[in-house]
Structure 1
Amino acid sequence: MTTTNTTADAAASLQTKLLGLDQFMTGQLEQWKGVGAAVAVVHKDQVIWSKGYGYRDLEAGLEVTPDTLFAIGSSTKSFTAAAAAQLVDEGLLDWDTPVKTYLPDFQMYDPVATERLTIRDMLCHRSGLPRHEMVWYNSPRSREELLLSLRYLEPNRDFRSKWQYQNLMYMAAGYLIGHLKGTSWEQVVQERLLNPLGMNSSLFSVKEMQQLSNYAKPYMDHEGVHTQIPFRTIDAIGPAGCINSCLTDMTAWLQFQLQQGVWKENSLISKEQMAEMHIPQMASDSPFHSKELPVSTYGLGWMIEPYRGHAMIHHGGAIDGFASQVAFLPDEQIGIVVLSNTNGSVIPYTTAFYIMDCLLGMEPVDWTSTFLGLMGQVELTEEEKPKPEASPSVQPLDCPVSVYTGTYNHPGYGEILVHETDEGLQMRLNNLDMPLQYKGSHSFSVTLSHFGWSLDCTFEVNEGLPAASVCVPFVLEPKARPILFTRLQD
């Protein structure tokens, strides 16, 4: 029997283990109020499953297909790491040479990090910086301007002491990659990864995606109703999460990973550098910690965790209205990609884990119940349900509105505008308006609906004079100090 026949037989055998997948996906879309999803499975060089479920455009009744484009969010990070690995192979970059060697003007808040930070540190999230998401989210600033903002962003941990997910570090890594090639991160990834792999449908901008015919629209569940939401443009932070792709392209990406950097007998990345990306670099946190996923580590652009005793390498992604999961089991040569167009959906995870259980011949774990528990949605009895609390009354201001209104600045975050509207006081950052509700003592509750956060901010007021500053705890990680915005003079 030839190797080709053996591989085809193995693929056919695995495919029979997925006969319940259609029914499972129907149930998942119903359970999690999902609009659409796309699922593909590969074994070695064979695509054994590639199918769409639900709708890419609910209003028009257009169904998801294997060629439907989705935003893959942070699953983009593995592409940035791969582009860096190619530059290491080329001798233009070293994983452990300080970034300042390549970018002399590079500067972090921490002088030690300024001098010692490497691209390895950037790609495995050990810079010492907390997330600082509001620096870039919806920001009109360019990639270069965001890079300059790093020097003003305070760390909350010692350099290299703890894993903390950090999108701005991936932005900076992408900028460095483009700089070393005398072009942009986008062009490097396009010419050195997407084109050779035949990922011809993948692109970097949701604006460009919307000019095509087969793309998924973003949705969220709002009070039980599927609601279409705006696309989020994140071009400046692109190396952290801006790629849009489809099953047809992403199966090639998975096969490339399983073949350790080789595609159609051409080596695009050496096995040595592929191994650097696929081995643990830093112990990390995981929201899925359980007996099935007992240990979590991060490589370079990939999460590395054992799943029920089997080596698993994966990365999820989420951006407004989209969620993804790209995973592979290197020992079994199995790869899985799940794409969704529902905001914050867990379907990519429940589906990927279900497929692994089926293909590994294990009793499927009830991940639906597990996720319901993690999200606090376990069904409660009437006795267990919390009694509704009275809505807090809105307190009147202790001083004129003009004390608070005005423009405040932080050198890393930019400007905040506090202004009066028909709905009351609001705080505007990066063109996002956030309602303020007075709590007393010059303190307000600020609602960041796009992140699901509600934070308390405090103005510094002396004897009724215009507030000198406002302190906002945009950074939620432990030990992170609130961000102080200072009033700008008229």
Structure 2
Amino acid sequence: MVPARGAVVAVVLSMAVLAGCSGSTDEHPAAPTTVEVAPNQVAGVALPEDAVDKAVGRLDELIGSLMDSSHIPGMAVAVVHGGKTVYAKGFGVREAGAPDKVDADTVFQLASVSKSLAATVVADQVGAGTVDWSTPVTTHLPAFALADPAVTAQLTVGDLFAHRSGLPDHAGDRLEDLGYDRAAILEKLRLEPLDPFRITYQYTNFGLTAGAESVAVAAGKEWARLSQDSVYGPLGMTSTSSRFDDFRARPNHAVGHVNVDGTWSARYERDPDPQSPAGGASSSVNDMARWLTMLLGEGTPVAPPEALLPALSPQVVSTPPQNLDARAGNYGYGFNVSVSPAGRTTVSHSGAFALGAATNFLVIPSADVAIVALTNAAPLGIPETLTAEFADLVQFGEIREDWRGLYRAAFADMDAPEGDLAGQQAPSNPAPAQPLTAYAGTYDSAYWGPATIATTDTGLQLTLGPAQRAYPLRHWDGDTFAFEPSGENAPPGSVSSVRFADGAVTIDYFDESGLGTFTR
């Protein structure tokens, strides 16, 4: 939620509690006393004295220690409070081995923090009357469909921004790795099996992208232009864009890095344009501070509060509690919405590219403070650790949890290799394969498209997708071969089986939703 002031003050006043004149025996009863906030806005723990200033005073130390322990190349951090930016600094370098320093104007890829910016764009269009959060997606994208016609008919912009459409987790992401564009991926989502509608939370980049695309069509503009006109331009975010070419053209931009044998290396370039609303924005912390200031009810408004508040409010349970005394996690429209241990509503989002970006912002509206941290390294939990430590300092005056250990463990799973053969030893005495020419040919999948198996001088090769990604196959056992997938969604060490049987081939890495069988 946004704070009880500025554009949202009317909402707060409507909830104010009036205390009566209980016990008064005067001829004229005591005047009612106005409570500043409603009971459901009262935090469980009062803020320490000078909480924000003292927390800001610790940032250099915290950032320095995180940089030293992780050795990530670069990081930028900003804090807003009281309607202004009170901290904005860069640390490290834009590219490992190069001299150019990160500063508060260095542009980073935001990854999934883009979703929160996209929700702000939609809120602007809701305020303009172009769409509503409850507008059916097919109103403006009539060709869009999911597997269940009943779900398709009811599916709204809000459903897709809340990840409650029923699409499987990260549906469509691996199509992007194969070179499919946005239109092709959105068309193929109709082939994905669905979980129960509106009661299942499954995080999807291309589901949210479909919702955003319907809004862009309604507005008569492509998404990057709509974002610029609705949010970036009005807020003065001059280094922010939802177009990859703009990011690459910025003279002061940070290059993505991956960790190779303990050394951060700028090996890959991540072009997220197909999922631009969900992961394709880029910005600096100075620009992000302008946006965060707006979220806190100061500065230039870009959407009416009644249009923006639903995005910042719980719309679906994203993390059910695991026991009776645990707090649940919730998701709004493009924002995580939670309650902190201090009893304060927080709004946040993280972003991560395995090919070299990790980002996070955190807003504590009742403390009138927000922080954003952007890095140019594959995700280790560094931005989340910093914002969590900062939030502890603001709310309690001390860091109360081992956030570094907790996030280190949580993010270790993100690096786990994919595929059913990952970490396995090949059979020492495998059954022989058939002559390689017996496997060669073209195999088709309605979802993945054609897969070509060809013989080469060194064995078999699998070729897939519009980008014609080629993968050598090595014999594993009998009619089973192995290949090593690559891309944003395949961490190092990923190994998948390729199993030939009855004129078909099943590729485990592409079989998450049961769609991994290709027929000759």
CA contact (8 A) 2:243 2:273 kept: yes
Q: Which amino acid aligns with 2:350?
A: G
Give the stretch that moved more between structures: 192-201 or 172-181.
Answer: 172-181
For residues 359 and 438 of structure 1, what CA distance do their matches in structure 2 show? 57
CA contact (8 A) 2:380 2:411 kept: no
Aligned twin of 1:468: 504
CA contact (8 A) 1:38 1:338 kept: yes
The CA deviation at 1:33 is 3.1
1:296 aligns with 2:329: yes
1:398 aligns with 2:433: yes
Aligned twin of 1:274: 308
The CA deviation at 1:302 is 0.3
CA contact (8 A) 2:224 2:243 kept: no
Deviations 1:326-352 (A, max 9, x none): 210111111110001011231110011
Larger Rg: 2
Change (3 A) 1:394 1:54: farther
1:19 aligns with 2:19: no
For residues 393 and 426 of structure 1, what CA distance do their matches in structure 2 show? 23
Change (3 A) 1:129 1:56: same
Aligned twin of 2:29: none
The CA deviation at 1:62 is 1.5
Deviations 1:402-422 (A, max 9, x none): 233333332232333334556
Change (3 A) 1:403 1:296: farther
Change (3 A) 1:243 1:397: farther
SS of residue in 1 equivalent to 2:386:
helix
Give the stretch that moved more between structures: 119-128 or 304-313.
Answer: 304-313
For residues 323 and 102 of structure 2, what CA distance do their matches in structure 1 show? 33
The TM-score normalised by the length of structure 2 is 0.80
For residues 442 and 429 of structure 2, what CA distance do their matches in structure 1 show? 24
1:316 aligns with 2:316: no
Task: Find the partner of 2:112 among 52, 74, 83.
Answer: 74
1:325 aligns with 2:386: no
1:345 aligns with 2:380: yes
Task: Find the partner of 1:454 among 482, 494, 500.
Answer: 494
For residues 290 and 70 of structure 1, what CA distance do their matches in structure 2 show? 38
For residues 125 and 248 of structure 2, what CA distance do their matches in structure 1 show? 32
Alignment size in residue pairs: 456
SS of residue in 2 equivalent to 1:137:
helix
Q: Detail structure 1 runs of 4+ shifted over 4 Å in the superposition.
A: 10-13, 288-293, 388-394, 420-424
SS of residue in 2 equivalent to 1:37:
strand
Aligned twin of 1:58: 96
Q: Which amino acid aligns with 1:414?
A: G
Task: Find the partner of 2:139 among 101, 118, 124.
Answer: 101
Aligned twin of 1:305: 338
The CA deviation at 1:449 is 4.1
The CA deviation at 1:179 is 0.7
For residues 253 and 94 of structure 1, what CA distance do their matches in structure 2 show? 22
Change (3 A) 1:308 1:425: farther
CA contact (8 A) 2:317 2:330 kept: yes
SS of residue in 1 equivalent to 2:506:
strand
SS of residue in 1 equivalent to 2:499:
strand
SS of residue in 1 equivalent to 2:374:
strand
Aligned twin of 1:370: 406
Change (3 A) 1:26 1:423: farther
The TM-score normalised by the length of structure 1 is 0.85
Deviations 1:57-98 (A, max 9, x none): 222122110010100001111122222222222222132232
Change (3 A) 1:184 1:436: same
Measured on the aligned residues, the alpha-carbon RMSD in Å equals 2.9
Larger proportion of strand: 1
Give the stretch that moved more between structures: 202-211 or 37-46.
Answer: 202-211
Change (3 A) 1:98 1:363: same
The CA deviation at 1:279 is 0.8
1:112 aligns with 2:150: yes
SS of residue in 2 equivalent to 1:410:
coil
SS of residue in 2 equivalent to 1:414:
coil
SS of residue in 1 equivalent to 2:273:
coil
Task: Find the partner of 2:124 among 80, 86, 95.
Answer: 86
For residues 394 and 236 of structure 1, what CA distance do their matches in structure 2 show? 44
1:145 aligns with 2:180: no
Deviations 1:261-292 (A, max 9, x none): x633xx42111122101110011139x98999
For residues 429 and 293 of structure 1, what CA distance do their matches in structure 2 show? 45
1:440 aligns with 2:480: no
Aligned twin of 2:28: none
CA contact (8 A) 1:138 1:232 kept: no
Change (3 A) 1:107 1:223: same
SS of residue in 1 equivalent to 2:210:
helix
For residues 226 and 411 of structure 2, what CA distance do their matches in structure 1 show? 39
CA contact (8 A) 2:255 2:376 kept: yes
The CA deviation at 1:237 is 1.5
The CA deviation at 1:484 is 2.2
Change (3 A) 1:70 1:458: same
Change (3 A) 1:70 1:391: same
After superposition, where does 1:234-273 map in structure 2 within 5 Å?
234-259=272-297, 263-264=299-300, 267-273=301-307
Q: Which amino acid aligns with 1:112?
A: A
Q: Which amino acid aligns with 2:349?
A: H
Deviations 1:110-164 (A, max 9, x none): 2222211111110000111112344442343332222222222232x12223100
1:230 aligns with 2:263: no
Q: Which amino acid aligns with 2:435?
A: P
The CA deviation at 1:455 is 5.5
Change (3 A) 1:59 1:206: farther
Change (3 A) 1:48 1:137: same
Gaps of 5+ in 2: 6-47, 414-422
For residues 454 and 269 of structure 1, what CA distance do their matches in structure 2 show? 44
SS of residue in 2 equivalent to 1:237:
helix
CA contact (8 A) 2:172 2:189 kept: no
The CA deviation at 1:376 is 5.9
CA contact (8 A) 2:146 2:191 kept: yes
Task: Find the partner of 1:154 among 186, 193, 203.
Answer: 193
For residues 400 and 359 of structure 1, what CA distance do their matches in structure 2 show? 67
